[in-house]
A and B are shown apart, each in its own frame.
Chain A
């Protein structure tokens, strides 16, 4: 079973995000970059399937050189090889353009399954996975919390939580699955794995290597334009419910929820 996992590098969720002076992007100077957590679930799932069925796991990333570190992390976890799509012209691309570049890099690989995260925790667009499946002409199953590949390795059942119920979707292969929190607990990249990863193949591809026209990428190529970034509104001060007794406090709380917050 050959599996491809797409990896995005995103700011560490603990990073304090600052909006840049253009009001359209963020300050990237002091950011700690990590593998998108949803992609990590994809890597882990791919490794477990490889342990069961054999085959190879290839990780594919896109972005500046620093993305190498996230790819190496996936290699250290146990993936076999990596492809980095890197090109100055990619800077500022939207999700559709990213999917196009990924599709170009993946279409000639052998794969039965592709994992992507259900979304990137940075821009929260959640469209790269679906677009990639469309461009490759394969089915797409979103938001997996459980992936069961049939013993014969020919089909897969994917569990997706919906409003407290579980929807089970069956698909033939190849298929693209987007990973959701709860799918698994990703393993840690251990030091021996990290040292081994240094020797695993990591291919770099530019847009022209992939036969793509750079005019379709970057800011110019965007179908979706960012107009403005604004920080979330400052949280208002909390309210302390007054009252002498627990009964009085409860009554006052009920009144506030009803009359002021209007939630009951």
Chain B
């Protein structure tokens, strides 16, 4: 017999234990309240920073905790156990906004914009989407015009996770011509004159995560906040998508996993026609299908993650994995509510939240349709 090949080893399990303990102590007791309030306390960033959780997957040289992709996955999986994907998305806005700084930024920029965020002292968000450009990233219109040692920025960013209270925005702007080659990344600090923020946007799900629109009106951003060179923004955005899509895939799998567990439990407890509903073959078979889908999706995502971790190009595969994981979580959260009957429609039951929170996963980080565009280009050629 050969040894079972595992993705997670002892250090991964220890990370899991740390995050589980953190969730039990700092998040779970308050999570329902935060969901209703529409945000979690800022202090949670600091606590997660102190515990080294925010830094997982980032280099120690800039205040990160190091680790490989599976340390990150273990941490996200355990965070999702808190039952609020909104909390995970809010804490996780740094995971999409810090990597461009690390891959394009100077030493000085990394020290200034990465360290305080991984410590939890400052909140970082990513600004790509605009009112008139989402999937069509190359079509963004927010303009940055160089004037001496500043860029003057005009425009707006839409649906920005952690946008309501972010201290800094890794922001895609147009510094050049109309094509994707005219896009650059600026780090814009929220106290820059001309930077303003909408009310928190009211959403279907992710209630504990603040989402906002951000406006730039003659916003004067120091030229030294440019990441890399002018025109490198589009490349930075595309590179960043891999990790975001992986993270969203893991979130989809956990959403489905928890919905499945809740359904197994409920179907044992709930009685109808004189027996537990788990006694009906329709329910049993539904649960069997749910479990099968969750298992297949999880294994697929782990495999793709292992290849990414080994440095292989997985643009097609991660697009497939995200779509597959979201298809599974769509189906499983739907069935979980169905198994719960009327209770599944009530806020008191976790599956109600899972069902709502799930909906964003096949839209954010590239829609299902955009994933299919990518996959089809890979299999058909342009």
A residues engaging B (CB < 8 A)?
Answer: 34, 69, 72-73, 76, 187-195, 197-198
Contacts and interface: CB of A to CB of B under 8 A. Distances in A.
Does more than half of chain B's interface fall in helix, strand or loop, or is it mixed? helix
Given A188-B51, A188-B52, A190-B52, A195 B18 contact: no
Interface string B1-42: 000000000110111011001100000000000000000000
Contact of A191 (B10, B21, B22, B52): B52
11 contacts: A69-B10, A69-B13, A73-B14, A188-B21, A189-B18, A190-B51, A190-B65, A191-B71, A194-B15, A195-B67, A198-B11
Nearest to A190: B52
Contact of B55 (A72, A191, A195): A191
A82 B335 CA distance: 48
Contact of B65 (A69, A187, A192): A192
B14 A189 contact: yes
Interface centre among A187, A188, A190 (most CB of B within 10 A): A188
Given A69-B10, A72-B10, A191 B15 contact: yes
A19 B166 CA distance: 51
Contacts of A187: 51
Interface of B: 10-11, 13-15, 17-18, 21-22, 50-53, 55-56, 60, 65-67, 71
Given A188-B22, A191-B71, A192-B66, A72 B52 contact: no
A188 B55 CA distance: 14
B53 to A, nearest CB: 8
Chain B CB within 10 Å, residue with most, of A34, A191, A195:
A191
A189 B17 contact: yes
Nearest 6 A/B pairs, CB to CB: A190-B52, A191-B65, A188-B51, A194-B14, A188-B18, A191-B67
Contacts of A191: 11, 15, 18, 52, 55-56, 65-67, 71
A197 B242 CA distance: 31
Nearest to B71: A191
B13 A190 contact: no
Contacts of B65: 190-192
B18 A190 contact: yes
A198 B11 CA distance: 8
B56 to A, nearest CB: 6
Contacts of B13: 69
A199 to B, nearest CB: 12
A73 B56 CA distance: 17
Given A34-B17, A188-B22, A191-B15, 11 more contacts: A69-B10, A72-B14, A76-B14, A188-B53, A190-B18, A191-B11, A191-B56, A192-B60, A193-B52, A194-B18, A197-B14
Contacts of B51: 187-188, 190
A5 B15 CA distance: 22
Considering residues B14, B21, B22, B67, which has the most beta carbons from chain A within 10 angstroms of its beta carbon?
B14
A197 B60 CA distance: 16
Main secondary structure of the interface of A (DSSP, over half): helix
Contacts of A73: 14, 17
B235 to A, nearest CB: 29
A188 B52 CA distance: 8
Contacts of B18: 188-191, 194
Nearest to B57: A191
A188 B54 CA distance: 13
Nearest to A189: B18
A197 B18 CA distance: 14
A38 to B, nearest CB: 15
A76 B65 CA distance: 13
Contacts of B71: 191
Contacts of B67: 191, 195
Contacts of B10: 69, 72, 198
A77 to B, nearest CB: 10
Contacts of B17: 34, 73, 189
Contacts of A190: 18, 51-52, 65
A195 B65 CA distance: 10
Contacts of A194: 11, 14-15, 18
Nearest to B9: A198
Which among B50, B53, B65 has the greatest number of chain A C-beta atoms within 10 A? B65
B100 to A, nearest CB: 23
A180 B34 CA distance: 31
Contacts of B66: 191-192, 195
A124 to B, nearest CB: 21
B14 A69 contact: yes
Contacts of B52: 188, 190-193
Nearest to A37: B21
A106 B274 CA distance: 60
Nearest to B19: A188
A256 B17 CA distance: 46
B58 to A, nearest CB: 10
A189 B74 CA distance: 14
A69 B10 CA distance: 7
Nearest to B67: A191
Contacts of A188: 18, 21-22, 50-53
A128 B60 CA distance: 41
